[in-house]
Amino acid sequence: MAKSAKIVPFRPAVKPIVIRTTKVVKSKHRKGMKKHVGSGRGLTDPKRMGIVVGGFAVGMIQKQGLPLPKIPFLGEAGTIGLAAYFLSDGGKNKLADEICTAALTIAAYELGSTGSIVGGAGDEPANGFPGYVSGV
């Protein structure tokens, strides 16, 4: 018996594997001080503009002349700020948070510039509180 020749399918020549190393580029280490150009916060910074809008809202609330209850030591602006603080829900409501910041800033300005709080206890002398904050 004669052995029959096996039929082998055609295989292409196998190319050799060439391993190439890539050049590693090291970052340049900067020595010394870096220059800071600008602070990144301009006049129209979103946080600053939010507080401006909050101040506008406080002015509109005071202009409406709504009969808001006034806490004696806080005055009208401080009471609006305190109410906005509770409405802001820990900063989740951004507009109420910005109104709170603006109103408390206005109340602090009034206290610092005049020594009294506008809309404070001095408007109603029957409640027993003086119309000014002593020691200023």
Answer with the residue of higher pLDDT: 3 or 130.
3
Contacts of 18 (CB under 8 A, 6+ apart): none
Confidence of residue 127 (pLDDT cuts 50, 70, 90): very low
Confidence of residue 26 (pLDDT cuts 50, 70, 90): confident
Helix (H/G/I), strand (E/B), else coil: 55:
helix
Angle between helices 75-87 and 46-64 (to 10 degrees): 120
Share of the chain above pLDDT 90, in %: 0
DSSP one-letter string for 91-131: TTSHHHHHHHHHHHHHHHHHHHHHSS-TTSGGG-GGGS--S
Once rounded to an integer, what is the mean pLDDT over residues 96-119?
Answer: 83
Window from 14-28, 51-65, 112-126 with minimum mean pLDDT? 112-126
- What residue spans define the domains of the chain? 47-127
Return d(Cα 61, Cα 77) in angstroms, integer.
Answer: 9
For the record, the structure tokens of 50 come out as 């939010």
Window from 44-48, 81-85, 95-99 with minimum mean pLDDT? 44-48
Alpha-carbon dihedral 39, 40, 46, 48, rounded to 10 degrees: 20
**71 DSSP β-pair partners:** 75
Residue 71 φ then ψ, to 5°: -80, 130
